[in-house]
Amino acid sequence: MTRVLPPLPVLLPLLGAALTLLFGRHARAQRAVSLSVLAAVLVVSVALLVQADRNGPQVVHVGDWPVTLGITLVVDRLSALMLVVASTVTLGVLVFAVGQGTASDDETPLSIFHPTYLVLSAGVSNAFISGDLFNVYVGFEVLLVASYVLLTLGGTGPRISAGVTYVVVSLLSSLLFLASIGLIYAACGTLNMAQLSERLAELPAGTRTMLQVMLLLAFGIKAAVFPLSAWLPDSYPTAPAPVTAVFAGLLTKVGVYAILRTQTLLFPGGHVDDLLMVAAALTMVVGVLGAVAQRDIKRVLSFTLVSHIGYMVFGIAVASQTGVASAVFYVAHHIMVQTSLFLVVGLIERQAGTTSVDRLGGLAASSPLLAVLFFIPALNLAGIPPLSGFLGKLGLLQAGAQDGSVLAWSLVGASVLTSLLTLFAVVKVWNKAFWRPADQAPRSPEAQEADALMHAGTAPRVMVTSAAAFVGVGLALTVFGGPLYGLTDRAAGDLLDRSPYVSSVLGGAP
Amino acid sequence: MTASLALVVTSVVLYSAGLYLLLDRSLTRVLLGVLLLGNATNVLLLASGGESGGAPIYGTTPEEEMSDPLPQAMALTAIVITLGVAAFLLAMIYRSWRLGQESLEDDPEDRIVASGIQLAPDDVNYVGAGPDDIDPDGDLTDGLEDGLVPYGPVEEARP
């Protein structure tokens, strides 16, 4: 049984993608297949999490090749937690997308959407559970190619020009990753991460640092860490709402996961931790300043997305038990919050015909439910106590204070500032879009057209329910913050100790 | 491990040519750049396998004379992936050509910032044009060309 479960989060969506391609003309069959596949993946992920937490990392050597020769799948606490969060997000967003699809004849061609979406989910799972650097690359490519298609769905002008930037930047990062894989193989003669963690330590310090920095650059582009983040706010907001939600929630976090895994497992000991701290501080501050300057809700959220990646890098850079545990907690929290915010913005756009704060107004009066759905995750994003964003930030601040160096303290300062500015940015959106009376909002001709077409307040119930469910899950992270933090704490212990991962992969082998 | 100098030099030349092409604004050249970079990486992968030897098939070559099969497998995978991505890029380039944007455009937001135009204050009269024309949902350049008159001289700001 233990050997059956780990490959399923990759296999099931791929099989589902094939099925949905076959059912290309039967929208109902497609929906049934994708929903049941992703629900099954969620169940499997939860089972894996329970197993990994009770019995240690679950390891499968695919095809029974000798250890370190073939592909290894490793599900430890961190991977299992990421799998659970990721499959929750993909399932929930799919429900939202299905609700949107049935309610309107959007120009988005749904027959392509389902297979691509499932392939994306398979790629994300593969990147999370792979125990082999090259297989991580394959996972990245699978999810990236799927994301290229999703981002350019429909092939309209703005989507294509956003897609060009996104595709070229992602390609560059993949090639950098592949080149570093080649160099690592040349230096160590293996790509199995457990074995690498032993062999990399034997390399000369200069070589090791070069390999580490190359990997960090490649993953930094994917995770949108500051100097490498300019592509994100330009490409995400143009995609359809469910696509943006799942990209914003998941894709950057795959990069963060890769940074976390390689930093803790392959390059412990912190040669470039100071560099990471500087990058984290700049990511936070520059990102949030961008958010404050924006006037479109989607762009505000995209910039806060960049900015809050800085918090996770902060935790990784401090590299203490508290730091890593809080970073993992923050990843889970941020995936949920960012996804729910983007879904709610999708609802706003549907209802009001625009997402520009200059033209929105009176939403709190016209649709109180939407206002509540926006308000809770927005405060959560800013880290208002007692919500989960506060818990994660508190842990990070503690880790920074324990570290005690000047850099760590300035990071603490930067993260408090970022938190305040995030609050400022979301409150600005709230005041304009929700709080001010509708008659003070200048109505654009487009908005009036949209009103006439869609009648305010007719967002389909499925979409609202799914967005509400995300907000609920975000609140659940707060309520169950204790047990969740306990889990991430144990995961951080495993990561920093390294021996559970290494010994469960290599077994008795020397 | 000894690496072949010829392979390393080839890969360096391919990398520099690819990077040069990647910096071009024309999408077709960007595609060529990506292809060169992909091939450079494949050559690098091959070089990482060390000395070349006989075919790594059990029974045909003595074990100590075999070349390392793993980098070859990785290069093959990478070639397939590059092929798929190149096909997608070609489709996208064709699509942008149909839409009349063969080369990378100026970022409209950049252009606005560079021209020093004041973005809509709250009390701007929105009849006709407004900041939503910079909204990614709309057609970005159209709004500018059709004259966002309230905001100042866009035309002069262009290079």
Interface predicted TM-score of the whole assembly (ipTM), two decimals: 0.84
Q: Which domain-ending residue is among B98, B127, B146?
A: B98
Q: Which residues of A touch B126 (CB under 8 A)?
A: 358-359, 442-444
Closest CA–CA distance from residue A256 to any residue of chain B (Å): 23
Structure tokens at B74: 């990785």
Q: Which domain-ending residue is among B98, B118, B145?
A: B98
The answer to whether A211 and A187 have CB atoms below 8 angstroms apart is yes
pLDDT at B25: 83
Q: What is the pLDDT of residues A70-92, one digit of tens each?
A: 888 999 889 999 999 999 999 99
- Find the CB nearest B92 among A167, A358, A442: A167
DSSP string, A48-76: HHHHHHHH--EEEEGGGPPTTTS-EEEE-
| Residue A195 sits at the chain B interface (C-beta within 8 Å) | no
Note whether A442 contacts B119, CB cutoff 8 Å.
Answer: no
| Residue A207 sits at the chain B interface (C-beta within 8 Å) | no
| Residue A415 sits at the chain B interface (C-beta within 8 Å) | no
Closest CA–CA distance from residue A89 to any residue of chain B (Å): 25
User: B54 and B73: one domain?
Assistant: yes
**Residue A417, Cβ density class (10 Å: 0-12 exposed, 13-18 middle, ≥19 buried):** middle
Q: Which residues of B touch A358 (CB under 8 A)?
A: 120, 122, 126, 130-132
Structure tokens at B141: 């350049």
Cis peptide before A242, with omega less than 30 degrees from 0? no
Find which of A207, A289, A444 to mutate to test the B interface (most B CBs within 10 Å of its CB).
A444
Note whether B132 contacts A158, CB cutoff 8 Å.
Answer: no
Classify residue B103: in a domain, yes or no. no
- Model confidence at B50: pLDDT above 60: yes
Return d(Cα A347, Cα A430) in angstroms, integer.
15
| Residue A185 sits at the chain B interface (C-beta within 8 Å) | yes
CA A29, distance to chain mean position in Å, is 29
- Model confidence at B111: pLDDT above 80: no
The answer to whether B130 and B124 have CB atoms below 8 angstroms apart is yes
pLDDT at A444: 58
Which chain A residue has its CA at the smallest distance from B30's CA? A168
User: B94 and B126: one domain?
Assistant: no
User: B94 and B114: one domain?
Assistant: no
Percent of the residues in chain A that have a pLDDT greater than 70, as a whole number: 93
- Model confidence at A104: pLDDT above 50: no
Q: Which residues of B touch A348 (CB under 8 A)?
A: none
Return d(Cα A157, Cα B140) in angstroms, integer.
9
Classify residue B145: in a domain, yes or no. yes
Q: Is A192 helix (H, G, I), strand (E, B) or coil?
A: strand
**Residue A442, Cβ density class (10 Å: 0-12 exposed, 13-18 middle, ≥19 buried):** middle
Find which of A170, A178, A355 to mutate to test the B interface (most B CBs within 10 Å of its CB).
A178
How does residue B130 score in pLDDT terms, banded at 50, 70 and 90? Answer: very low
User: B92 and B14: one domain?
Assistant: yes
- Find the CB nearest A295 among B37, B74, B131: B131
User: B93 and B113: one domain?
Assistant: no
Q: Which domain-ending residue is among B98, B124, B149?
A: B98
| Residue A183 sits at the chain B interface (C-beta within 8 Å) | yes
Give the domain range for residue B77.
5-98
Note whether A168 contacts B107, CB cutoff 8 Å.
Answer: no
Task: For chain B, give the mean pLDDT.
Answer: 73
Amino acid at residue number A482: G
User: B116 and B51: one domain?
Assistant: no
CATH value at residue B91: 1.10.287
- Model confidence at A341: pLDDT above 80: yes
User: B77 and B148: one domain?
Assistant: no
Q: Which residues of A touch B3 (CB under 8 A)?
A: 186
Task: Specify which residues A356 forms β-bridges with.
Answer: A296
Nearest to A463 by CA among A357, A343, A379: A343
Closest CA–CA distance from residue A182 to any residue of chain B (Å): 5
DSSP string, A316-335: HHH-SHHHHHHHHHHHHHHH
Amino acid at residue number A49: L
Note whether B45 contacts A149, CB cutoff 8 Å.
Answer: no
- Find the CB nearest B135 among A141, A162, A356: A356
Q: What distance, in Å, lies between the first and last C-alpha atoms of chain B?
A: 53
User: B23 and B86: one domain?
Assistant: yes
User: B120 and B66: one domain?
Assistant: no
- Backbone φ and ψ for B58, nearest 5 degrees, come out as -65, 130
| Residue A112 sits at the chain B interface (C-beta within 8 Å) | no
Amino acid at residue number A498: R
- Model confidence at A176: pLDDT above 90: yes
Nearest to A360 by CA among A370, A374, A349, A368: A349
- Model confidence at A361: pLDDT above 70: yes
Classify residue B22: in a domain, yes or no. yes
- Find the CB nearest A446 among B77, B99, B132: B132
Classify residue B125: in a domain, yes or no. yes
Note whether A157 contacts B132, CB cutoff 8 Å.
Answer: no
Instruction: Tally A–B CB contacts below 8 A.
Output: 124
Structure tokens at B73: 């497998």
The CA angle A506-A510-B2, to the nearest 5 degrees, is: 100
What value does the mean pLDDT take over residues A180-208? Answer: 89
Classify residue B85: in a domain, yes or no. yes
The answer to whether B54 and B65 have CB atoms below 8 angstroms apart is yes
pLDDT at A510: 39
Note whether A161 contacts B105, CB cutoff 8 Å.
Answer: yes
User: B113 and B94: one domain?
Assistant: no
- Model confidence at B121: pLDDT above 70: no
Amino acid at residue number A356: S
Classify residue B11: in a domain, yes or no. yes
What value does the mean pLDDT take over residues A266-280? Answer: 84
- Model confidence at B133: pLDDT above 80: no
User: B87 and B139: one domain?
Assistant: no
How does residue B151 score in pLDDT terms, banded at 50, 70 and 90? Answer: very low
Q: Measured on CA atoms in the order A253, A258, A262, A264, is the torsion positive or negative?
A: positive
DSSP label at A296?
A: B
Q: Please enumerate in sequence order all residues whose Cβ is within 8 A of that of A334, keeping only pairs 6 or more positions apart, or say none.
A: A253, A308, A311, A312, A389, A392
C-alpha torsion A389→A390→A392→A393, nearest 10: 110
Q: What is the largest CA-CA distance in chain B?
A: 82
pTM beyond 0.90, yes or no: no
- Model confidence at A446: pLDDT above 60: no
Return d(Cα A322, Cα A403) in angstroms, integer.
10
The answer to whether B58 and B29 have CB atoms below 8 angstroms apart is no
The answer to whether B140 and A158 have CB atoms below 8 angstroms apart is yes
Note whether A186 contacts B95, CB cutoff 8 Å.
Answer: no
Q: What total of structural domains would you count in chain B?
A: 2
User: B25 and B93: one domain?
Assistant: yes
Within A200-352, where are the H helices? 205-223, 231-235, 241-246, 252-261, 273-293, 297-318, 321-352
- Find the CB nearest B48 among A172, A182, A446: A182
